[in-house]
A = this chain, B = another copy of it.
């Protein structure tokens, strides 16, 4: 038996390939849309991908199952466990097989048993892996967003992200039941291979270890240690991070069936002149530079989302799904990387990219580059006191609960596009977050939305706190 783990840092997402070396067959579990690594790895190991499966309808990225099935001819095994709302709309395609609790998928000598594990979502299943020639004892389980290392999948996403009112408590109770069943039915030695690692918004306390055992999780994971249903429900519903706004769209795409891409496209490099057109035609223009560079000179009307580890998260929340996208980047490879990252979350309409010469050309056309002014924390507080400034805190709700600057207004960065109407146009808006990263993005977004009196307070809450200002100001 051969097992390979794939981990995408930007999505904090794990997928797996399991193969039988005797027969040369392989199955991929929870593929994302960057499917080349699965194909390459299978090729290197002398395996053919004959099966593709997924634990549930993902909410945080576009599934690669359909693309991978299309490219390799593999059969897709999809859950038939959910109710009518949670059925795959493309289940009638010829290479799809629906599976329910108790089904078995055989990949050569390797056996995958389907186990229903609802809670995070109604249709959620896990796959228990047994290497039959070695021993009848199951080796491990691909647990998807059911059990993570150190945490369990949150049951509130359907309500909070997809708008299914009143489902989250019921979901939490179903999840509790799934956990008890899982603890009861499998040995403590069972390996646990979850679908996410530290940093994912599909839970609140995911660990930084890629794999664990059921026994170890029973001892260390709050969700598995918990024995009272009500206390479990309370705890699992509290302290969850805000679900990014795009999760709802991901759910929709993954249910309907993601478009077949045929590989990520290399975006054409645009002549600098075209920027003037695309600033006017409803396109979204994303400048991928580090914030410090962007703030020192940017084209008004563009948004700054730096191409770093947090790129997918903010891009998903801030870029509309129905608009053409253009990129500004220092190097072609950065633009290529962004195209991939955007496609991973369903933003497929990148039409081209602009090099940095575009900034000079913009100025040469008689327009002016702008600067995001930066304000020192003490100065910001003085302006706040005199009443001629509006202090906008774009951190997450959980952070704000732990402490905030008196007089600040809270709108989480991910919700800024829909809530910008709450902000004043006649006052200086001072944007801050924890340490300057998100406030830089937020300031660029507000500028693109037409706000002109804006400064970034890069010190953020961290500096406010460090300087004992928290006390002084209260």
Contacts and interface: CB of A to CB of B under 8 A. Distances in A.
Interface string A255-272: 000000111111111111
Interface stretch (A314-322, A357-365, A424-432): A357-365
A210 B5 contact: yes
Contacts of A272: 43, 48
A296 interface: yes
A261 B4 CA distance: 31
A119 interface: no
A271 B73 contact: yes
A352 interface: yes
A210 B211 CA distance: 10
B48 A2 contact: no
A268 B263 contact: yes
B355 A137 contact: no
A274 B361 contact: no
A297 B36 CA distance: 25
Given A3-B208, A24-B364, A73-B274, A135 B219 contact: yes
A271 B72 contact: yes
Interface in A350-374: 351-352, 355-357, 360-361, 364
Nearest to A2: B208
Contacts of A21: 208
Nearest to A187: B215
A437 B139 CA distance: 35
Nearest to A136: B219
Contact of A188 (B131, B188, B270): B188
Contacts of A40: 269, 355
Contacts of A24: 364
Contacts of A309: 44
A43 B329 CA distance: 13
Contacts of A219: 135, 137
Contact of A265 (B9, B71, B265, B273): B265
A59 to B, nearest CB: 25
A31 to B, nearest CB: 12
A213 B189 contact: yes
A270 B49 CA distance: 11
Given A46-B357, A352-B262, A216 B36 contact: no
A273 B44 CA distance: 15
Nearest to A37: B269
Contact of A189 (B49, B188, B361): B188
The quantity of this chain's copies bound in the complex is 4
A137 B71 CA distance: 45
Interface string A30-60: 0000001001101111101100000000000
B44 A9 contact: yes
A258 to B, nearest CB: 15
A150 interface: yes
A293 interface: yes
B72 A274 contact: yes
A175 interface: no
B135 A270 contact: no
A187 B269 CA distance: 40
A471 interface: no
Contacts of A214: 189
A268 B458 CA distance: 33
B191 A215 contact: no
A103 interface: no
Given A262-B352, A364-B24, A137 B216 contact: yes
Contacts of A292: 292-293, 295-297
B36 A269 contact: yes
21 contacts: A36-B268, A40-B269, A43-B272, A43-B355, A43-B356, A46-B360, A72-B271, A72-B274, A73-B271, A134-B150, A135-B220, A139-B209, A188-B188, A188-B215, A191-B212, A191-B213, A191-B216, A263-B265, A290-B293, A292-B292, A296-B296
Given A73-B277, A295-B296, 14 more contacts: A5-B210, A43-B357, A46-B360, A49-B271, A72-B271, A135-B216, A135-B220, A189-B189, A189-B216, A190-B213, A191-B191, A191-B216, A290-B293, A292-B297
The 5 closest A-B pairs by CB, nearest first: A72-B271, A189-B215, A263-B268, A43-B357, A2-B208
